[in-house]
Amino acid sequence: MSRMADGPILKLVHPAPEPGLRPATPAPGAAPARQRRLISIGGGKGGIGKSLLSANLGIELARRGKRVVLVDADLGGANLHTTLGVEVPRRTLSDFIERKVHRIEDVITPTGIPNLSLVSGALDHLDAANPRHAQKMRFLRHVQQLDADFAILDLGAGTHTNVLDFFLVSDHGVLVLVPEPTAVENAYRFVKAAFWRRMRNVAQVYGYEPLLRSVMDGASFRSPVELVETVSRRDPDAGANLARQLAGFRPRLVVNQARTSQDAEIGRAVVAAWRKYFGLEMDYLGYIPYDDEMWRTLRARRPFLIEKPDVPAAKAFATVVDGLLALDIAARSGATS
């Protein structure tokens, strides 16, 4: 519970480690035993399998002995419980948002799958679908303090600031892409919106807003690096810090419903194009082949990974989880070395 000590200020901006200043942190032995990781699943477009992906990643992690809480953060269109075959829970996020309960733990529902529980977003009151800023912050703070190894946030469609903020605070912001022009278009819109929101957050936190405004008034910037360079010319320290903060923006990419071998390749292509054109990185976690079984088990309201653990699509979830865990390990060893 060391995070509790962080106090009520929720950081929308992860402090990027300053090279050279790192060893000043507390003794490594005193590190918290549990490193809670926050994964959010987004992608801009609806119907691309965000909920199915959330549920099945959760199941896969739970099967590996991780304690996982799935959080249905699609506040206006919650349906994560359905993908798990759970009845509409009695207690949901609306109870928490309306402060009928004080802790998010009080609205956790077991899923019947060991190690996996659910915070349902199914809402009784329409109003709760649009929480105010303070409510959102409280929600995020509690999610980050959940007693679990992983919290997985199933995000809604669109690029609403709530969605973007959930995506940005996560350790892993997972971008789901279906190989269709509409989904690609929305994914790029989503990831660009998330990027510029992060830029804004950073500017806010560090007081760079006037600087950025004056820089951006002067010209239009196609890529973040161009912008950072221009800022650096005005204010090297600000530029360096901005660069460090923005480098932390690194979505993970999953391609869903891959039907052909070209579809399977599109993830790499998107990563390459994003790098070439935008100058930023994404981590490609893999693709989930299209499988009618997924649709069939959903129709039967049964969790796919439990019902059909051996089909290729099910095994693909294991690959994605492998990728996520590898990134965690890399991040941890990078932080201690």
Partner 1 sequence: VKPLSQQNLYEVLDVPFDASTAVIAEAVDRAQALYAPGSLATYTLMDPEEEHLLVRLLEEARATLLDPAARARYDEQITGPDSAPPPAQAPSPALDAAIRAAWPELPPVFPSAPQPADADEDEEEDDEWEDVPVGASASAAAAPEPVRPPAPVIPAMRVEAPVAPPPAQPPAAPPAAASAAAAPTGPRAPILLSREVASPLATERPTSTPVPITTPAPAAVAPVPPVEGTTWSGEVLRQIREARGISPQQISERTKVTRHHIENIEADRFELLPAAVYLRGILLSIARELRLDGQKVARSYLERVALASSPTAPLPRPK
Retrieve residue 294's tokens: 């997924």
Residue among 92 and 245 whose Cβ is closer to partner 1? 245
- The reply to whether 219 sits near partner 1 by the rule CB under 8 A is no
Determine if 181 is a binding residue for partner 1 (CB under 8 A). yes
What CA–CA distance (Å, rounded) separates 255 from 177?
A: 5
Asked if residue 119 lies in contact with residue 93, where contact means CB atoms within 8 angstroms, the answer is yes
Do 143 and 170 meet the contact criterion of CB atoms below 8 Å apart? no
Q: Is the Cβ–Cβ distance between 209 and 203 less than 8 Å?
A: yes
Distance of CA 159 to the CA centre of its chain: 13
Q: Which is nearer to partner 1, 119 or 187 (CB)?
A: 187
At closest approach, how far in Å is the CB of 91 from partner 1? 41
Three-state DSSP state, 73: coil
Segment interacting with partner 1 (CB under 8 A) among 27-35, 134-142, 239-247, 301-309? 239-247
Please say which residue, 47 or 236, places its beta carbon nearer to partner 1: 236
Return the number of the residue (18 or 87) whose C-beta is nearest partner 1.
18
266 binds partner 1 (CB under 8 A): yes
| Choice between 6 and 226, CB closer to partner 1 | 226
- 268 lines the binding site for partner 1 (CB under 8 A): yes
Tell me: does residue 247 bind partner 1 (CB under 8 A): yes
Residues 10 and 170: their CA atoms lie apart, in Å, by: 12
CA–CA gap between residue 109 and residue 86 (Å, rounded): 9
| Structure tokens belonging to residue 193 | 């919106």
Q: Which residues bind partner 1 (CB under 8 A)?
A: 19, 179-181, 184-185, 188-189, 222-223, 225-226, 228-229, 232-233, 236, 239-244, 247-248, 250, 266, 268-270, 272-281, 284
